[in-house]
Amino acid sequence: MKIVLEHLTKTFPGRGKNAPDVKAVNDLTFEIPDGKLVGLLGPSGCGKSTVLNLVSGLLKVTSGKVFFDDDDVTNIPAEYRGVGIVFQNYALYPHLTVEKNILFPMENFKGDKKLSKQQMQERALAAAKLVQIDGLMDRKPAELSGGQQQRVAIARALVKQPRVLLMDEPLSNLDARLRLQTREEIRRIQRETKITTVFVTHDQEEAMSISDLIIVMKDGVLQQTGKPQEVYDNPANLFVAKFLGTPPINVFHGCVKGGKLMLGDDVIFKVKHVEDQDVWVAIRPEGFLLDKHGCLHCQLQNVEVMGRDVSIVATHPAMEGESFRAIIPSTTRVDDEAATVSFVLHPEKVLPFSKADETRIDAKLV
């Protein structure tokens, strides 16, 4: 099932007298293709959970439309939309056993959807097997670990065979190791069930690693959608560039003068068809190559050996912030006694942005 959002807007009344309304979601338009796992990504407070609630119907839209395939569900209440939700705190009913929790949604079926007791139990067991908790059916939620509760929540959301599965920060309550494991698990379950799944996260690594498609938001406004690698390689603006990637992208003050892209006094690339102007230049940590005759001359601060690779912490006069970080393979030998270090830059990892509105300047660097 395809989900289409058209000019979706949600405002909340401001607190206090004469306070302006807060636009949590502002004119959002995008399409989520059928059967994909989509990560809704943004810093906290950017409105991503609100979008999820608008899709589920738990919140009413202020304006705009929500379509499931060709059905306009904008004014259909949550219970008739056929969505399954996994809440951030899982919202498992604490007084019911795992089995009863999973049975709960099916017991609400009415009319010709109504199932016999045996059918319900079969489906509950199938859902439990899918998330590998079929051995825990008689436990109460309090007797389960965080990861197991998470699985029960997924089973409960899936058992009614929803048209859409929505997850609100599904991994945020798990510890680091379990998070890695569970995100693989979510990927596997989504592949097996082929249900269109939207999950909300503020962790870019999480979103990039398992999504077919990511949607980046900021302050209620859509920034960019696309495949994770595409968005990483071609961010539409400085915010997206900064938000994706660990360690974060390095930002420099630069300028274009007479067809040359300059960082301070260093000419790093030639550019064509770009007017002279001040620009932001963002360089991915992996875009630096150590070279004695390189074009970018920096003061070396520190060399950190990580085993797999080496990160060089250095400063440059045109740098935004204190220092930047370059990551190079550990096979390269670095003289950590040296005072200066020079780099050549990988043209695809160097991203110029307009200083005026922080949008990407589409220019070929040579």
Partner 1 sequence: MENRSMKGWLYLLPAILFLGVFMVYPLIDVFIYSFEEGYNSASQTYFGVGTYNYSYVLHDPYFLQAVKNTLILVAITVPVSTGLSLLISLGLSNIPKLRNLFQTVYFLPYVTNTLAVGLVFMILFRKTPYTDGLANLVINFFGGESIDFIDGPYWAKMFVLCLYTVWVVMPFKILVLTSALASVNETYYKAARVDGTSRSRIFFRITLPLISPTMFYLIITGFIGAFKAYSDAVALFGTNLNAAEMNTIVGYVYDMLYGDSGGYPSFASAAAIILFVIVLTITCINLLVSKKHVHY
165/261 with CB nearer partner 1:
165
Report the nearest approach of partner 1 to the CB of residue 142 (Å): 8
Cβ neighbours of residue 345 closer than 8 Å, sequence gap 6 or more: 268, 269, 283, 287, 288, 289, 294, 295, 296
110/273 with CB nearer partner 1:
110
Report the nearest approach of partner 1 to the CB of residue 62 (Å): 19
Cβ neighbours of residue 285 closer than 8 Å, sequence gap 6 or more: 245, 247, 249, 250, 311, 324, 325, 326, 327
Helices (H) and strands (E) in the chain, counts: 8, 20
Report the nearest approach of partner 1 to the CB of residue 85 (Å): 5
- C-beta of residue 84 within 8 angstroms of C-beta of residue 70: no
Report the nearest approach of partner 1 to the CB of residue 158 (Å): 12
30/104 with CB nearer partner 1:
104
17/293 with CB nearer partner 1:
17
Tokens of 81: 């939309």
100/325 with CB nearer partner 1:
100
* Binding-site ranges for partner 1 (CB under 8 A): 56-58, 78-80, 83-85, 87, 89, 91, 93-95, 104-105, 108-109, 160
- DSSP secondary structure of 287-353: GEEE-TT-SEEEEEEEEEE-SSEEEEEEE-TTBSSS-EEEEEETTS---TT-SEEEEEE-GGGEEEE
Report the nearest approach of partner 1 to the CB of residue 323 (Å): 43
Q: Which of 268, 246, 242 is nearest to 257 (CA)?
A: 268
Q: Which of 255, 351, 354, 353 is nearest to 365 (CA)?
A: 351
Report the nearest approach of partner 1 to the CB of residue 150 (Å): 14
58/126 with CB nearer partner 1:
58
